[in-house]
Amino acid sequence: MEIDEYIKSRVDNQINWYDQKSASCQRKYKLTQTIEIVLAALIPLLSAYSKDCILIALIVGALGAAIAIIESLTKLYKWHENWIEYRTTCELLRYQKHLFVTKSSPYNIEPENIENIFVRNIENIISSENNKWKTVNTNEKKVENTN
């Protein structure tokens, strides 16, 4: 198998797969979190009227149950964690592909020229930013889990 064919059939396919899965998990996570926030905000609002109406008390209870279900589904399917991991893997694959395609270190056999150094530095900046993003998002989830 030629390297161009490998890049197209394997690397690009993996990049696309991780990119799509990351986007899907991100959408699911943000949707469930938005619904959970809205439902949680309705509970104190409706609770003030629950003494006067049994139906409102039942609605408040149902909202609490819905929040518990949504949170359980979020933990079960790990949309947040998968979003971060898939995005990180996608970006690492892209990083390595760009280094290879431009024959930048470590994929060069000749001394690097100025273009190779430029590509490597740009890719390192992008990679560093992706690592920061992953760290921030991972730490946010850990803080949520400890509360």
Three-state secondary structure along 17-73? HHHHHHHHHHHHHHHHHHHHHHHHHHHHHHHCCCCCCHHHHHHHHHHHHHHHHHHHH
Q: What is the dihedral of CA 86, 88, 89, 92, to 10 degrees?
A: 160
Residue with tokens 């889990």, as numbered in its chain = 145
Helices (H), 78-113: 79-101
| Cβ(63)–Cβ(39) below 8 Å | yes
At residue 29, the pLDDT reads 97
Cα–Cα distances in angstroms (integers) from residue 85 to residues 75, 82, 92, 131, 134, in the given order: 15, 5, 11, 11, 8
Residue 140 pLDDT greater than 70, yes or no: no
- pLDDT above 80 (res 145): no
Closest CA to 102 of 126, 118, 124: 118
Instruction: For the chain, give every domain's residue range.
Output: 3-146
**CA atoms within a 13 Å half-sphere pointing along the CA-CB vector of 89:** 19
Q: What is the pLDDT of residue 50?
A: 84
* pLDDT-derived band at 144, boundaries 50, 70, 90: low
Confidence band of 9 (pLDDT split at 50, 70, 90): very high
Token couple for 105: 């270190």
pLDDT confidence of residue 88? 92
pLDDT tens digits for 33-89?
Answer: 999 999 999 999 999 888 889 999 999 999 999 999 999 999 999 999 999 999 999
147 pLDDT more than 60: no
Mean pLDDT of all residues in 122-146: 77
The whole-number pLDDT of residue 48 equals 87
Summarize pLDDT for 95-124 with one digit per residue, the tens: 999 989 988 888 888 888 888 888 888 888
